[in-house]
Amino acid sequence: MISHQFPVLIVVTPLILSFFVNVVGWWDKRYCVPIVFVALSVSLFSAIGALEAVIKHGGPIHYHLGNWQPPWGIEYVIDYLNTPILVAIAFISILVLIFSQRSIEKELPESKIPQFYTLFLLNVTGLLGITVTGDAFNLYVLLEIASFSAYAIIGIGERGADFSAFRYVIFGTIGACAYLLGVGYLYIVTGSLNMADLHHLLPKLYYSRAVLVGMAFFLVGVGIKMGIFPFHTWMPDAYTYAPSTVSALLAPLFTKVGAYVMIRLLFTIFEPSFSIKLYPVAEILGWIAAAGIVFACVMALAQSDLKRMFCYLIVGEMGYILIGIASANRLGLTGAILHIINDMFMMACLFTVAGAIMYKTGDRNIYRFRYLHRKMPITLGVFVVGALSVVGVPPMCGFFSKWYLILGTIEAKKWILLGVLLASSLVNAILFFRVIENAYLEPRGEHAFAHDGGHPSISLDEVPWSMLIPMLMIAAGIILLGIFSGVIIKHIIQFAVPASF
């Protein structure tokens, strides 16, 4: 019986416990983290249960909220596309929570901790809800919950965070309103808000201009939220100035959930025949992606702030996912979906490392990382794993999704996109080598008098275990995802790609 309720438990448990966090935190701040941990664990458990149920059932499972039939009520749908993403969201948010304890203690005043954890939990609730819902308007409401909590937890960061949070409010509202306009344009011509119902109703109306405009605004809205190239301007500032835990939470999850919504939109609400054949939507997305990747590479090379460099990297990674969508074939889309999950782990890895370095040294400038490998060897080891994965070195997961993306572009005969993909991998290698060089290699002159095993003044000064363990688990996750990517594709993602490909 409980297994039947998994889809809703994923979202509702963190929601109801987030109300407790605020009240309990008012009395004693120590209970905040355990409550959040319990909530997210139940979510993770339910998400794994849902994944199992989907595999056992062999297709999408519908859950009717309030027991109303879908076009009238709201339904939750779990299928092969969203369950792996749900599991990844819940897993990463638990790790970031464990990571957050010490980092937040250092970066925030004590009186703000209960509210911070309330918003943390609400944010994860929103992201999980976006992923699981099957109703276009419900998605909007959840998007707003996720965005509001994101505005708030970004705004309490260091100097400059408040202003970038305000810019994020403005951009985020444009994005959400554009999404709502898209829903409205589809609603006025179909009269329905349910995604599956829209999927059935829309083919008759594919030549209506209202549907085309609706889709365009959908894409713009989701694009702003996920930070693809021309709409990314809010992102680097916001994620750089946010507290390091917050960027470790939002950077991996929020943008990727946006990418998921885009795939839902293009292939569940609309049919592939509309978004690829009738109008050159995929073509346009491909060009935007290529431009975005080039732009992101150039901008990332110009940064000396570690977090800001990663932010531009996200813009590039979003471009990869768009390339997978734009190549419009089975291989490319497999790569895109796999890359959503892999990129969550990769970005979580990089941003937690940035947070750890920030915790110990209070500095993010990559030119001041000298001797860091003696000070924090494990942190830098994790960083190297993440870096190799982003560059695309075989045992790590980043290689496999990139492999599928490249195969997809070859099959679609989109040579420019292929060139961009390969070139950007090279640039990523340069990018990360720059950091590794600064952290690992020692200047020649000083090396001479430190021949007996290290500079005397630099001793081991690693971050506490509560930060190391999540980082190591993420690094292990990257390697395991890489090793088992064949299994994941064969049993899950293969079925997530629409059948018409």
Partner 1 sequence: MLEQIVSRYNYWIYIILILIGFYGMMAKNNLLKKLIGMNIFQWALILYYVSIGAKKGGTVPILSEEAGSPFEHLKAIQCVNPLPHVLMLTAIVVGVATTGIALALLIIIYRRYGTLEEDEIIEELRR
Partner 2 sequence: MISKWEDLIIETLCRFLIPFMQTYSLYVLVHGHSSPGGGFQGGCIMAACFILLVIAYDLNEAKKRFKEKINVIFCSLGVFIYAGTGWACLLLGGNFLDYGKLSLILPTDPIKARYYGMASIETGVEITVMAIMVSIFWDLVTGGKHEEALEEENARADCK
Partner 3 sequence: MIGKIVSILIAIFAASALLIGVKDFPKWADPNQPASLHVSPRYIEKTVEETAVPNMVTSVLADYRGYDTMFETSVIFTAGIAVMMFLRRPHK
Q: Would you count residue 305 as binding partner 1 (CB under 8 A)? A: no
Q: Would you count residue 16 as binding partner 2 (CB under 8 A)? A: yes
Tell which positions 1-30 bind partner 3, by CB under 8 A: 15, 19, 22
Distance CA 142, CA 297 (A): 32
Q: Would you count residue 156 as binding partner 3 (CB under 8 A)? A: yes
Q: Which does 189 bind (CB under 5 to 8 A by kind): partner 2, partner 3, partner 1, none?
A: partner 3
Q: Which does 180 bind (CB under 5 to 8 A by kind): partner 3, partner 2, partner 1, none?
A: partner 1
| Residues β-bridged to residue 78 | 61
How many other CB atoms are found less than 10 A from the CB of residue 271?
18
Query: Could you give the C-alpha distances from 46 to 53, 194, 232, 343, in angstroms and in order?
Result: 10, 24, 33, 23
Tell which positions 175-204 bind partner 1, by CB under 8 A: 176-177, 180-181, 184, 187-188, 193
Based on CB atoms, which residue is closest to partner 1, 193 or 390?
Answer: 193
Q: Which does 71 bind (CB under 5 to 8 A by kind): partner 1, partner 3, partner 2, none?
A: partner 3
- Nearest approach, Cβ of 199 to partner 3 (angstroms)? 14
Residue 154's closest CA among 170, 169, 139, 175? Answer: 169
Distance CA 276, CA 412 (A): 12
Contacts with partner 3, 204-233, as mask; x by CB under 8 A: ----xxx-xxx-xx----------------
Q: Would you count residue 216 as binding partner 1 (CB under 8 A)? A: no
DSSP string, 4-30: GGHHHHHHHHHHHHHHHHHHHHHH-GG
* 8-state DSSP, 118: H
Tell which positions 60-79 bind partner 2, by CB under 8 A: 63-67
Distance CA 81, CA 275 (A): 18
3-state secondary structure at position 61: strand
Based on CB atoms, which residue is closest to partner 3, 217 or 312?
Answer: 217
Based on CB atoms, which residue is closest to partner 1, 38 or 181?
Answer: 181
Based on CB atoms, which residue is closest to partner 2, 67 or 459?
Answer: 67
Q: Would you count residue 23 as binding partner 2 (CB under 8 A)? A: yes
| Total residues binding partner 2 (CB under 8 A) | 16
Distance CA 345, CA 85 (A): 11
| Residues β-bridged to residue 378 | none
Stretch that binds partner 2, among 4-12, 33-41, 469-477, 490-498 (CB under 8 A): 4-12
- Helices 136-155 and 244-264 sit at what angle, rounded to 10 degrees? 160
Based on CB atoms, which residue is closest to partner 1, 50 or 222?
Answer: 222
Q: Which residue is listed with tokens 């994020």? A: 168
Q: Which does 360 bind (CB under 5 to 8 A by kind): partner 2, partner 3, partner 1, none?
A: none
Q: Which two tokens stand for residue 262?
A: 């885009």
Q: Which two tokens stand for residue 260?
A: 């998921």
Q: Which does 419 bind (CB under 5 to 8 A by kind): partner 3, partner 1, partner 2, none?
A: none
Distance CA 100, CA 116 (A): 11
- Nearest approach, Cβ of 237 to partner 1 (angstroms)? 9
Q: Would you count residue 54 as binding partner 3 (CB under 8 A)? A: no
Q: Which two tokens stand for residue 247?
A: 């960027």
- Nearest approach, Cβ of 217 to partner 3 (angstroms)? 8
Q: Would you count residue 169 as binding partner 1 (CB under 8 A)? A: yes
Stretch that binds partner 2, among 13-21, 365-373, 375-383, 453-461 (CB under 8 A): 13-21
Residue 95: what residue type? L
Based on CB atoms, which residue is closest to partner 2, 68 or 465?
Answer: 68
How many other CB atoms are found less than 10 A from the CB of residue 55?
14
How many other CB atoms are found less than 10 A from the CB of residue 437?
11
Q: Which of 42, 55, 141, 278 binds partner 3 (CB under 8 A)?
A: 141
- Nearest approach, Cβ of 443 to partner 3 (angstroms)? 44
Q: Rounding to the nearest 10 degrees, give the CA dihedral for residues 376, 89, 148, 135.
A: 170
- Nearest approach, Cβ of 128 to partner 1 (angstroms)? 19
Q: Which does 212 bind (CB under 5 to 8 A by kind): partner 2, partner 3, partner 1, none?
A: partner 3
Contacts of the segment 14-20: beta carbons below 8 A, 24+ positions apart = 14/39, 14/40, 14/42, 14/43, 14/121, 14/122, 14/124, 14/125, 14/128, 15/122, 15/125, 17/121, 18/118, 18/121, 18/122, 18/125, 19/118
What is the number of H-type helices and E-type strands within the chain? 22, 2
Distance CA 85, CA 100 (A): 22
Residue 189 · residue 212 · CB < 8 Å: no
Q: Would you count residue 142 as binding partner 3 (CB under 8 A)? A: yes
- Nearest approach, Cβ of 127 to partner 1 (angstroms)? 17
Q: Would you count residue 8 as binding partner 2 (CB under 8 A)? A: yes
Distance CA 398, CA 391 (A): 7
The contact set with partner 1 (CB under 8 A) reads 137, 141, 144, 148, 151-152, 155, 159-160, 162-163, 165-166, 169-170, 173-174, 176-177, 180-181, 184, 187-188, 193
Contact residues: partner 3, CB under 8 A: 15, 19, 22, 65-66, 68, 71-74, 109-112, 115-116, 118-119, 122, 125, 129, 137-138, 141-142, 144-145, 148-149, 151-152, 155-156, 181, 185, 187-193, 201, 208-210, 212-214, 216-217
Applying CB under 8 A, the residues found at the interface with partner 2 are 1, 5, 8, 12, 15-16, 19-20, 22-23, 26, 63-67
